[in-house]
Amino acid sequence: MLKYDLVIAGAGYAGLVLAMKCLSGGMKVAVVDIKAEGDLGHDWSDSVEREVLEKRDIGFSEKEITAKPKGLHIISPLRSKEFFLDYAYEIVDMKLLHKRLLEKVEERGGELHLRASAVRPILESSGRCKGLRFNENGEPRELKADFVADCTGIKSAIKSLMPRGSGFKIELSSTDISKAYREVRRWNGKTKGNTEKVLAGWLSYHYGINGGYSWVHPETDDRIDVGAGIQLGKGYPDPENTVPERVKNLGLGERLRGGGGVIPVSSSHPVLYSHGVLLVGDSAFQAIPTSGCGAGNAMRSALIAGDALLRSRLNPDERGSLYERLYFQQKGADLAYYDVLRRRMQSFTPETLDWLMKKGILGSRELYASIHGLYQNTPAFSTLLKLAYGFTRIDVLLKLKRALSIGEKLREHLQNIPYRAKSGEKWLQKYYDLLSETYHFD
């Protein structure tokens, strides 16, 4: 039986970048996905952090960039305030990006098993995962490996079959999940009648609506992207209904591409490696909580995981733990801070959010930083209490201040994640204690 260094479940953005990275370091890698080649990758364009695309291992070609927005235009919930911000994302054709990543994996000698079914972990009696088993063309297959990566997105197909003792977090509260839907439509450069104004070339977000936002982006003179992301679990209207309504109101033409799905917007649980299994991408809850952008960070995390797995002087468990540590130090701790902020913001009414934006408490710098998932102790946030004396809504400011303080503590705690988080029981308990305060945001 063939033995691999790494077998990856899921040939999405995380899985392919992880495969590429490990193959370039000389590892023997196989990737297994349930989809056929033509169905892989999203049939639309996503916002992907420029900084991630500029990494040598990923890169991008101009033909993958479908639009160059002038910037980000943010409208407050009650439309009383608007902001014009820089946008450090590229709008990327996710089918083309996916195709290039897949070609790179093949060029580097990666083995692909597509249209697989019944993908399951091979578990030893100790609970350690030693590979994947699945059916291919109706025949049972087993691929044994030192490491297995679960890159199956929110389905978390391997993680969910691991024994309880693995310490992985499996269940997500529905309020920690966003549902997003988008359509790219033809248009004639004008909107119908007296409907909303559309700013040519700007990506406009109507912020703080239904626990998320809706957007409209005239990408070119004859093509426009319309979409929405909502928080689940609160009975908000489904974007698969609201987006077509908006398309109708705007009088847009033929549907060119689009689609929808769910995105985990909670930040990562500290256990990203256990019993021979690594979690990367949406299966590890690595999207930016305050914007729902997960593709860029899935690829960034795959590079971090690859770096750790290639440290051949370390034993497998040390390499897995190193991935956890590097991830939280490089990005995960910052995203935990934004997750606390997300929970707090989603607890406020649209009126309160509008007020915060009008007063500049949630101003340009704060919006820029949170949408990009870039930690910064921004002036408006840090001087909140001083501001509080001049305002009437002290209750709101105190709630926000408390959330920021928990966010800071959680961030610092995660930056100091010990090697083997699961064995650091005291450390893990403190993590849960800090997080539990955020469950009571009302």
Contacts with ligand FAD, residue ranges (CB under 6 A): 9-15, 32-35, 40, 42, 46-48, 119, 151-153, 155, 157, 180-182, 260-261, 263, 281-282, 287, 293-296, 298
Work out how close the CB of 287 gets to ligand FAD at its nearest, in angstroms, rounded to a whole number: 5
Pair 133, 122: CB distance under 8 Å? yes
Q: How far is the CB of 176 from ligand FAD (least distance, A)?
A: 14
User: What whole-number distance in Å separates Cα of residue 425 and Cα of residue 6?
Assistant: 29
Smaller CB separation from ligand FAD, 9 or 232: 9
- Look up tokens 């930016």; give the residue: 288
User: How far is it, in rounded angstroms, from Cα 243 to Cα 249?
Assistant: 10
By C-beta, is 10 or 110 nearer to ligand FAD? Answer: 10
CB of 281 to ligand FAD, least distance (A): 2
Q: How far is the CB of 152 from ligand FAD (least distance, A)?
A: 4
Please, what is the minimum distance in Å from the beta carbon of residue 123 to ligand FAD?
16
Q: Which is nearer to ligand FAD, 155 or 393 (CB)?
A: 155
Extract the tokens encoding 381.
Answer: 């946030």
Whichever of 129 and 428 has its CB closer to ligand FAD, that residue is 129
Nearer to ligand FAD, 46 or 354 (CB): 46
Closest CA to 145 of 122, 119, 168, 113: 122
Local structure of residue 316 (DSSP, 8 states): H
Q: Residue 391 CB, nearest distance to ligand FAD (Å)?
A: 34
Count Cβ neighbours within 10 Å for each residue of 92-111 and write b for 16 or more, e otherwise: bbbbbbbebbbebbeebebb
Minimum distance from CB of 127 to ligand FAD (Å)?
A: 20
Q: How far is the CB of 228 from ligand FAD (least distance, A)?
A: 9
Taking the complex as a whole, the smallest distance from the CB of residue 196 to ligand FAD amounts, in Å, to 21
- CB closer to ligand FAD out of 108 and 120: 120
Smaller CB distance to ligand FAD: residue 12 or 208?
12
Q: Which two tokens stand for residue 308?
A: 């750790």
Transcribe 81-127 into DSSP letters: -EEEE---EEEEEHHHHHHHHHHHHHHTT-EEE-S-EEEEEEE-TTS
Strands 223-231 and 177-186: antiparallel
Long-range contacts of 374-383 (CB under 8 A, 24+ apart): 374/334, 375/333, 375/334, 375/337, 375/338, 375/411, 377/408
| Smallest distance from ligand FAD to CB 260, Å | 5
CA dihedral 407, 208, 222, 255 (to 10 degrees): 100
Q: Which is nearer to ligand FAD, 47 or 76 (CB)?
A: 47
CA atoms of 272 and 323, how far apart (whole Å): 8
Whole-number Å distance between alpha carbons of 252 and 187? 5
Closest to ligand FAD by CB, 287 or 367: 287
CA angle 221, 222, 226 (to 5 degrees): 100
**Could you give phi then psi for residue 208, rounded to 5 degrees?**
75, 25
Q: How would you class 193 by CB atoms within 10 Å of its CB: exposed for 0-12, middle for 13-18, buried for 19 or more?
A: exposed
Q: Which is nearer to ligand FAD, 9 or 428 (CB)?
A: 9
240 vs 317 by CB, closer to ligand FAD: 240
Least separation in angstroms between residue 192's CB and ligand FAD is 24
